[in-house]
């Protein structure tokens, strides 16, 4: 796997390895300086969104799933269980209301598609690096909690800014995915976001930040897919769109996504979450040549995903002429409205 990770990183890096260590040091200094401004325009408090979505609200007679007015319930079946792990992006730092966090948006969207309540638990921690996933997985798989039906992980930005070697970063992520899959949970990973969009970071260092982010995202994809998980690229999704609309898609701290930014990310991840649970239309699971979907060697698929918004990669044929192969999908996004307040879990 190490050789494939190196190949994917080389594809995704686009020549970043040719840049000197001094430039990397300057880049990381600028990114860390940008992070110091977090909180200047917004509170560092992360809204707590844990609870049940897709239930009848006694206050407004509206459902938890985006205010649709429909309460979901399947007789004799418990709610679907969704867990979020990772860093501040998974936690939802930068927004003020729980319903604007990615966990709440995904839970309400999943409830609407499944027509079944969804119980959300978010153990993500702002500032977390990939080596924090071991503790987060332990929390999710604790004896007192049922195994989630699906886990969504968003991680990687802090690994880049703290210069964690990609091989070490991917090793921690792969171990987390393996533990969750072994326990019976489906896993979807939103790969490293594009640090080249952080407003205080200027050119030409934005170019280097983008390459470093893509390099890690490609390596993450290979590690996750080989452990039976799926990935969705967040780098380009939170790249050109954020770059074109920084005031709308970045929060007040100019570092974390705004409510609209989190909704954009959730729209990209939700179809893959639903597909992993067998809830997406069967006809959409076949590769669509018109959308440039198809089977590729995993390293090549990882590189393509790292360079295009919202691209999904999942395992396909276990072996091929150039090692394991993967299915690359460019799913149509589904609008995710802000969620209604969750009912506390019992």
Among 50, 149, 236, 253, which one carries the catalytic annotation? 253
Checking DSSP bridges between strand 186-190 and strand 150-154, what pairing results, if any? parallel
Phi, psi of 187, deg, nearest 5 = -135, 130
Neighbours of 67 (CB within 10 A): 16
Per DSSP, what are the bridge partners of residue 51? 120
Q: Evaluate whether 173 touches 155 at the Cβ level (below 8 Å).
A: yes
88 is catalytic: yes
290 is catalytic: no
Q: Evaluate whether 50 touches 89 at the Cβ level (below 8 Å).
A: no
Residues 6+ apart with CB under 8 A from 43: 96
Among 42, 50, 65, 88, which one carries the catalytic annotation? 88
Phi, psi of 122, deg, nearest 5 = -115, 120
87 is catalytic: no
Picking from 135, 220, 230, 232, the residue whose alpha carbon sits closest to that of residue 185 is: 230
Among 213, 256, 258, 307, which one carries the catalytic annotation? 256
Residues 6+ apart with CB under 8 A from 72: 54, 55, 63, 65, 111, 112, 114, 115, 116, 117
Tokens linked to 215? 């390099």
Tokens linked to 173? 């992520």
Q: Distance of alpha carbon 128 from its chain centroid, rounded? A: 14
Picking from 133, 129, 151, the residue whose alpha carbon sits closest to that of residue 230 is: 151
Catalytic site positions:
88, 253, 256
């Amino acid at each position: 796997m190490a050789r494939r990770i190196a190949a994917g990183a080389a594809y995704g890096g686009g020549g970043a390895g040719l840049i000197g260590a001094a430039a990397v040091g300057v880049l990381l200094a600028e990114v860390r300086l940008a992070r110091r401004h977090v909180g200047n325009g917004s509170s560092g408090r992360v809204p707590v969104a844990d609870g049940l979505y897709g239930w009848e609200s006694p206050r407004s007679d509206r459902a938890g799933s985006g205010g649709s007015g429909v309460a979901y319930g399947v007789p004799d079946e418990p709610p679907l269980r969704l867990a979020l792990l990772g860093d501040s992006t998974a936690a939802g730092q930068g927004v003020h209301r729980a319903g604007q966090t990615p966990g709440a948006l995904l839970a309400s969207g999943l409830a609407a598609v499944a027509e079944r309540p969804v119980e959300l638990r978010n153990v993500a921690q702002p500032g977390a690096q990939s080596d924090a996933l071991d503790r987060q997985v332990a929390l999710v798989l604790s004896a007192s909690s049922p195994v989630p039906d699906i886990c969504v992980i968003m991680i990687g930005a802090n690994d880049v800014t703290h210069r964690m070697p990609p091989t070490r970063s991917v090793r921690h992520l792969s171990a987390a995915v393996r533990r969750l899959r072994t326990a019976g949970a489906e896993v979807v990973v939103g790969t490293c976001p594009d640090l080249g969009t952080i407003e205080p970071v200027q050119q030409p260092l934005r170019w280097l930040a983008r390459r470093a982010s893509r390099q890690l995202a490609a390596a993450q994809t290979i590690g996750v897919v080989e452990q039976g998980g799926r990935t969705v690229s967040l780098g380009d999704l939170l790249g050109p769109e954020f770059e074109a609309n920084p005031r709308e898609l970045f929060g007040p701290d100019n570092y974390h996504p705004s409510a609209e930014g989190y909704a954009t990310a959730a729209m990209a991840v939700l179809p893959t979450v639903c597909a992993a649970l067998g809830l997406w239309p069967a006809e959409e699971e076949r590769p669509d040549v018109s959308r440039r979907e198809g089977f590729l060697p995993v390293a090549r698929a990882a590189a393509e995903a790292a360079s295009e918004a919202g691209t999904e990669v999942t395992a396909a044929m276990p072996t091929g002429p150039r090692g394991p192969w993967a299915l690359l999908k460019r799913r149509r996004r589904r609008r995710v409205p802000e969620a209604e307040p969750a009912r506390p879990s019992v």
